[in-house]
Amino acid sequence: MDKLIVRGGNRLSGTIPISGAKNAALTLIPCALLTEEAVTLRNLPRLADIDGFQHLMTQFGVSHTIPGKRPEEFGRNVTLEAMRITSSVAPYDLVRKMRASILVLGPLLARTGEATVSLPGGCAIGNRPIDLHLKALEAFGAQIELAQGYVKASAPDSGLPGGDFDFPVVSVGATENAVMAAVLCNGTSVLRNAAREPEIVDLCNLLTAMGAEIEGVGTSELTIHGVKKLHGATYRVMPDRIEAGSYACAAAITGGEVMLQGADAGDMGSTLHALRNIGVEVETEKDGVKIAANGPLKAHNLTTAPFPGLATDMQAQLMSLLCKAEGTSILKETIFENRFMHVPELARMGADIETEGRTAIVRGPCELTGAEVMATDLRASMSLVIAGLAAQGETTVRRLYHLDRGYERLEEKLQLVGADIERVGDD
């Protein structure tokens, strides 16, 4: 297994190209199941999770072609074609490797009238239930059965009638599954307290391009008028707002100045607001967002929340930045029950962080020193890299498979702006 060696102290300066959004791509790919025509997705990030999802899609008979692209370019275009669905079973050995596989449930059910998907199970940050996914599909008229670790969903012979569902808790994935099922229902469906993340807007934009009829896009109430068939489309995935926010923290912690090329400030409002409050200069430009940290960093309290609140996926990265801020910052994690696993690793680098339940108290500024650290989940891994960029000495980050799931060619992008970072084989 590879490891990253980060030698801290370099001030980052220059331009980082932002890739297509992982969490948008993971809900756009299964949309290909909803039509027998070709769906071409542009700007897909080259990530382990995207490869994994494409492999899963072949399980259902979906072909995918990847026209050649020069290797040095980021991203790639993929054409997916589900002319005929040859299986509606998503097996355990594929689903267990990537929880987002559960997002084939809604489209498979809508297209074929049935779907058998392994329960995804939990992960490091929480037990990640899917009860809301299932309740929404039941509200549309689906029959749901749980047996031998699988969800078996089936629709009436005449197809899913559709229906209304009020989400008791905002859920990105459950909203995505529900929308992908509703677009082919016989009637109209209304989702209330639906997630409003930009990735949901991206999903609705692709489905609309495929012929779906969706009202209220971008709001917490979505009205979906089912249509008989959807046609193919070509669609460019939105830029990754979490990748961009992560590199913004990396630039800021080094006192650097970096242009996040292709980032969309409109998707990053809460992160940019937090950075400004911490004393980071943020400028929105026509082709990206410029980050500069010339003055001292100031402590700031943060609470994660569903969009447009502060993204939980930015909590770990901002915590690393706040270790270098003057004063005490209180961070509250309201979305997942176990998303502070970066804390003990940051503490080994010299950070002064105390946790009480879902609250972390960060006392800064502290001198960070390089250490051997262990990544435990995707965003925790990134927070350790960010801390390493500002630490005295050398930080070794292991278990890079976490990072490779969410950050396209991370070390290359950081090298572009002067970071002393290299990937080496783990002896």
Q: Is 427 exposed, middle or buried (0-12, 13-18, 19+ CB in 10 A)?
A: exposed
- Write out the DSSP string of 159-206: -----EEE-SS--HHHHHHHHHHHTTSSSEEEEES----HHHHHHHHH
What residues pair up with 190 in beta bridges, in sequence order?
Answer: 164, 223
User: What's the angle, vertex CA 1, arms to CA 118 and CA 76, rounded to 5?
Assistant: 65
123 assigned to active site = yes
Q: Is 383 exposed, middle or buried (0-12, 13-18, 19+ CB in 10 A)?
A: buried
Selected catalytic residue, list 123, 185, 249, 323: 123
How far is the first Cα of the chain from the last one, in angstroms, to the nearest whole number? Answer: 8
Beta strands in 45-195 (DSSP E): 63-65, 76-81, 89-90, 114-118, 143-147, 150-154, 164-166, 188-192
Q: How far apart are CA 191 and CA 212, in angstroms?
A: 15
Considering the complex, what minimum distance in angstroms separates the CB of residue 223 from ligand EPZ? 21
Residues lying near ligand EPZ in the complex (CB under 6 A) are found at 23, 26, 100, 126, 128-133, 169, 171-174, 312-313, 335-336, 378-379, 406
Instruction: Pick the closer one to ligand EPZ by CB: 297 or 381.
Output: 381
Asked whether the beta carbons of 27 and 201 are under 8 A apart, the reply is no
Considering the complex, what minimum distance in angstroms separates the CB of residue 307 from ligand EPZ? 8
Considering the complex, what minimum distance in angstroms separates the CB of residue 26 from ligand EPZ? 5
Q: How far apart are CA 341 and CA 392, in angstroms?
A: 22
Question: How is the beta sheet containing 394-398 ordered, strand by strand?
Answer: 372-374, 394-398, 2-7, 420-425
Considering the complex, what minimum distance in angstroms separates the CB of residue 315 from ligand EPZ? 9
Q: How far apart are CA 318 and CA 386, in angstroms?
A: 9
Residue with the shortest CB distance to ligand EPZ: 173
Considering the complex, what minimum distance in angstroms separates the CB of residue 417 from ligand EPZ? 23
Question: How is the beta sheet containing 221-225 ordered, strand by strand?
Answer: 164-166, 188-192, 221-225, 213-215
* Distances from the Cα of 404 to the Cα of 251, 255, 312, 356, angstroms: 20, 26, 19, 30
Instruction: Pick the closer one to ligand EPZ by CB: 45 or 75.
Output: 45
Considering the complex, what minimum distance in angstroms separates the CB of residue 402 from ligand EPZ? 10
Considering the complex, what minimum distance in angstroms separates the CB of residue 389 from ligand EPZ? 20
Beta strand pairing call for 327-332 and 302-303: parallel
Instruction: Pick the closer one to ligand EPZ by CB: 131 or 287.
Output: 131
Instruction: Pick the closer one to ligand EPZ by CB: 27 or 329.
Output: 27
What residues pair up with 233 in beta bridges, in sequence order?
Answer: 39
Instruction: Pick the closer one to ligand EPZ by CB: 194 or 233.
Output: 194
Instruction: Pick the closer one to ligand EPZ by CB: 391 or 397.
Output: 397
Instruction: Pick the closer one to ligand EPZ by CB: 166 or 213.
Output: 166
Q: Which residue is listed with tokens 């809604």?
A: 106
Could you list the active site residues?
123
